[in-house]
A and B are shown apart, each in its own frame.
Chain A
Amino acid sequence: MEELEGRRALVTGGAQGLGRATAELLVARGARVMLADVDADAAEAAASEIGGEVAHAVRCDVTSAEEVAGAVEAAKEALGGLDTLVSNAGVEVAKPLVEHTEEEYDRLMAINVKGVWLGTKLATPALAESGRGAIVNMASVAGIGGAPLLGVYCASKAAVIQLTRVAAVELRDSGIRVNAVCPSFVGGDMVARMVEAFDDALPMSFDEAVAAKQARLGTAEEVAEMVAFLVSDDAAFVTGAHYVLDGGLTASGL
């Protein structure tokens, strides 16, 4: 039997990047998924590529309670219930704190923090009903240590870790486990967008910094593996934790 046979997962930000890779791995391990993304066309395309029987798509702006509730309902209907939520949708702004605009701050916090809170809040009834609920929130090592240019992003990811902890404690008696995953820099569009800003701001190039701090970029598949572990029954005693995958970045004081 596949490790995640029977799992029914809602993945936000599921059209691309870490969300898409996670959805693909969950499906490969036997789960069925609902891809929720603000880009509905991309979500549809991803779902049909993964496979129409096992992957579905719904438009979802995670900053809207109405749309998150709609995504949960769509998942329940398409999958016959919901036992897994991967709150992955997130955005970054890479510039000095004093140069962030108010609009950038509000948008980032709304997507990265409010979106995770709404997902937890609105999926909880269905997850509790399943009797085997699991939530994995996409945090970051930026929620553990400060990183230049990522001030608001860092604050948002620290908030995600804290939401994860409290949700884990509050939802334990409902049989819902809540954990976070903390990757460092992972190869993909988000990092590609930030390279230039880091090259300008750091004393070394971005590539050199990555090589020195984390040996290499992580991969979306590696993040997906950690999510898959955390939602699986293998992690039945794991809740309130934030699991790091960062090539040693946060282990080093140098």
Chain B
Amino acid sequence: MGVLDDKVAVVTGAARGIGRAVAEAYAGEGATVVVSDLDGESAARVADALGGGASSTACDVTDEEAVASLMDGAIERHGRLDVMVANAGVGRPRPLLEMDLEEWRSVTSVNLDGVFLCTRHAGRVMSAAGGGVIVNMCSITAFSGFPMLAHYAAAKAGVRSLTQTAAVELRDAGVRVNCVCPGFVGTDMVESSKPQFEEMLGLEDFDAAIEAKQGRYGTAEEVARLAVFLASERSAFSTGGAFTLDGGATASLL
């Protein structure tokens, strides 16, 4: 018996990394998962591996029609939509002065516009059905600046704010909206960015800097456990919250 038995959950960006771990944890807790990703083939493979009635949908979260049909499709296919995790995100470190508008928009369109569209359309469907839970993937960069991540951090601060407003607007409709704010997690996104951080920040060892700040890298599975808690009835009184898991990084000024 799981804490998400009989729930239907859409997870975006679920072909790899944190999204995939969330999809796996949800399935393990009894949910039927709609695995969504820009990469539809990989999403289909993840859904096949999950079993338990999981399905997949290719979706570009910056495309409003695609997002609307992702949420409507979950209802058509599985009869309901209880949980939506807006996880899809991108990150490419770049110094501010070298960041042109195109680069800025390429990150903010996925990380903020995408979360807006997913929140809006999941909120629409859930409100009509009498309730639901939205979990937005945020970041500790929502709370402070981070070198090379002007676009990413600004988008995440936007996600944090959007989560608050959505929580307040959707409360009477029975929809809870929270965000998860991880520190650095050992994922492909972080791994592939390390050389750029090291070069541009003049760091010999990015891992050592992370360990000093947060003890170690988090794991995608740890983020997924928090996403399970927030999706479950166990967090029924939480809405509009930002839930950090960062090994203490944001607790310290130093």
Contacts and interface: CB of A to CB of B under 8 A. Distances in A.
B145 to A, nearest CB: 19
A240 B250 contact: yes
A241 B252 contact: no
Nearest to B247: A237
Contact of B229 (A165, A173, A219, A229): A229
A244 interface: yes
A35 to B, nearest CB: 23
Nearest to B242: A244
A225 B246 contact: no
Given A225-B234, A226-B235, A240-B252, A248 B245 contact: no
B246 A240 contact: yes
Contacts, number: 110
Interface string A239-254: 1110111111111101
Contacts of A164: 251
Contacts of B226: 234-235, 238
B254 to A, nearest CB: 8
Contacts of B238: 226, 243-246
Interface residues of B, number: 37
Contacts of B248: 165, 168-169, 172, 239-240
Contacts of A219: 237
Contacts of B252: 165, 169, 240
Interface stretch (B4-12, B113-121, B217-225): B217-225
Nearest to B25: A234
Contact of B219 (A166, A237, A243, A247): A237
A238 B245 contact: yes
A236 interface: yes
Nearest to A173: B215
A252 B247 contact: no
11 contacts: A172-B247, A183-B237, A218-B237, A229-B234, A234-B229, A235-B226, A239-B248, A240-B248, A240-B250, A244-B240, A250-B241
Given A218-B237, A251-B167, 9 more contacts: A164-B251, A168-B251, A235-B245, A241-B243, A241-B251, A243-B243, A244-B240, A246-B240, A248-B167
